[in-house]
Amino acid sequence: MDCRVKPGNDAAEITDREKRMPEITVNMAAGRTDEQKANMMRDITQALVTHLGVDPEAVVIQITEAPLTHKMKGGKTFVERAAEQKK
């Protein structure tokens, strides 16, 4: 969530606008269905409404997906990891 504090303000002085407009970016490996992603975004929106008291119309969520060949964990791409699991 991006809640930037404007220069000269301390964390206690975050503006009302910033409190109302949370923007969430989810980074993930490609491969989930559109339905799965939409359901996840709905759940995230509801969590922000419940826990931060924001209006759901103010919540912006963006998913950034990476191909499995462009995402790595433990020194191996997700494609390499999947191939090893099949052995």
Asked if pLDDT for residue 13 goes beyond 80, the answer is no
Query: What is the distance between the alpha carbons of residues 57 and 45, in angstroms, rounded to a whole number?
Result: 9
Fold of 11-86: Macrophage Migration Inhibitory Factor (3.30.429)
Query: What is the distance between the alpha carbons of residues 82 and 79, in angstroms, rounded to a whole number?
Result: 5
pLDDT digits (tens, 9 = 90+) for 38-73: 999 999 999 999 999 999 999 999 999 999 999 999
Q: Which residues are catalytic?
A: 22
More confident residue, 61 or 2: 61
Backbone angles phi, psi at 20, to 5 degrees: -85, -15
Which tokens go with 46? 């509801």
Domain boundaries, the chain: 11-86
Query: Are residues 63 and 37 in contact, defined by beta-carbon separation less than 8 angstroms?
Result: yes
Query: What is the distance between the alpha carbons of residues 86 and 82, in angstroms, rounded to a whole number?
Result: 7
